[in-house]
Amino acid sequence: MGKSDGSESHNLQKYGVPFYGAAWVPYSHVRSKLLSPKGINKDDNDGRDRNGSEDEASSVTTHNYYVVLAGGGGEGHSGIPNAVVLSHFDFASNSLSDQPVAKLGTGSDLPYRMAVHPGGDGIICAFQNSCRFFEWDEVKSAEIHKLGLKESEKVLSQLENVGQQLVLAFNSEGSILATGGEDGNLRVFEWPTIKIILNEAQAHASVKGLSFSPDGKFLVSLGNRGHGRVWDVTSSTVVASLAKEKDEIFVSCRFSPINDENPVLYIAAITDKGGSIITWNTRSWKRMRSKQVVQEAVSCFNISSDGELLAIGMAEGDISIINSTSLKVERMVKKAHLGIVTALALSHDSRALVSASMDSSARITLISMDKKQTAATKVVTSVAEVLRSVSTKVVNIFCGTKPPSETCKPQNSTKQPSVAKLVLRLASAFVRSASAFVRTFTSRVVNFGRTLIHYAANGVCKAMEIVRTVAAEVAKFVRTTAAKVAECFRTLLHSAAKNLHFVTQRVSLLCILSKIVECLEKVAKAKRTLQYCGVALHPNVWQILKAALVASVLQMAPMA
pLDDT of residue 457: 64
**CA separation (Å) from 503 to 113, 301, 426, 491, 506?**
91, 86, 112, 18, 5
Could you tell me if residue 201 is inside a domain? no
How many whole angstroms from its chain centre is CA 551?
99
Number of structural domains the chain divides into? 4
Could you tell me if residue 198 is inside a domain? no
In DSSP notation, 365-395 reads EE--GGGG--HHHHHHHHHHHHHHHHHHHHH
Please check whether residues 402 and 345 belong to one and the same domain: no
Please check whether residues 331 and 438 belong to one and the same domain: no
Phi/psi at 214 (5° precision): -55, -35
Please check whether residues 381 and 337 belong to one and the same domain: no
Range of the domain at 341: 244-372
Could you tell me if residue 214 is inside a domain? no
pLDDT of residue 442: 73
| 309/328 Cα distance (integer angstroms) | 10
H or E stretch including 406?
Answer: helix 404-407
pLDDT of residue 285: 96
CATH number for 277 = 2.130.10.10
Nearest to 339 by CA among 2, 106, 12: 12
Please check whether residues 444 and 319 belong to one and the same domain: no
pLDDT of residue 11: 92
| 216/100 Cα distance (integer angstroms) | 34
Please check whether residues 391 and 439 belong to one and the same domain: no
Please check whether residues 364 and 382 belong to one and the same domain: no
Please check whether residues 249 and 118 belong to one and the same domain: no
Please check whether residues 158 and 32 belong to one and the same domain: yes
**CA separation (Å) from 229 to 200, 218, 222, 241, 242?**
12, 10, 7, 5, 6
pLDDT of residue 479: 79
pLDDT of residue 508: 66
Could you tell me if residue 185 is inside a domain? no
Q: Considering the entire predicted model, what is its pTM? A: 0.63
Please check whether residues 357 and 457 belong to one and the same domain: no
Please check whether residues 397 and 534 belong to one and the same domain: no
Please check whether residues 350 and 396 belong to one and the same domain: no
Please check whether residues 487 and 402 belong to one and the same domain: no
Reading the chain (560 residues) residue by residue, the pLDDT tens digits are 444 444 456 899 999 999 999 999 999 999 888 764 544 344 444 444 444 434 443 333 346 899 999 999 988 767 899 999 999 999 889 999 999 999 999 999 999 999 999 999 999 999 999 999 999 998 776 556 678 999 999 999 999 999 999 999 999 999 999 999 999 999 999 999 999 999 999 999 999 999 999 999 999 999 988 899 999 999 999 999 999 998 899 999 999 987 667 899 999 999 999 999 999 999 999 999 999 999 999 999 999 999 999 999 999 999 999 999 999 999 999 999 999 999 999 999 999 999 999 999 999 999 875 444 444 445 445 555 555 555 555 555 555 544 444 444 444 444 455 666 667 777 777 777 777 777 777 766 766 776 677 666 666 666 677 777 777 777 777 777 778 777 777 787 777 677 666 656 665 666 777 777 777 777 777 777 777 666 666 677 767 777 777 777 666 655 44
Q: Which of 110, 143, 162 is the last residue of a domain?
A: 162
Nearest to 337 by CA among 100, 18, 2: 18
Reduced to 3 states, what is the DSSP secondary structure of residue 312? Answer: strand
Could you tell me if residue 475 is inside a domain? yes
Nearest to 346 by CA among 316, 302, 378: 302
Could you tell me if residue 458 is inside a domain? yes
* Residues in contact with 330: Cβ distance below 8 Å, sequence separation at least 6, in sequence order: 1, 2, 309, 321, 322, 323, 371
pLDDT of residue 262: 82
Could you tell me if residue 480 is inside a domain? yes
pLDDT of residue 398: 52
**Per DSSP, which regions of 2-82 are E strands?**
12-14, 19-24, 65-71
Nearest to 156 by CA among 184, 120, 121: 121
Could you tell me if residue 147 is inside a domain? yes
Q: Which of 133, 162, 191 is the last residue of a domain?
A: 162
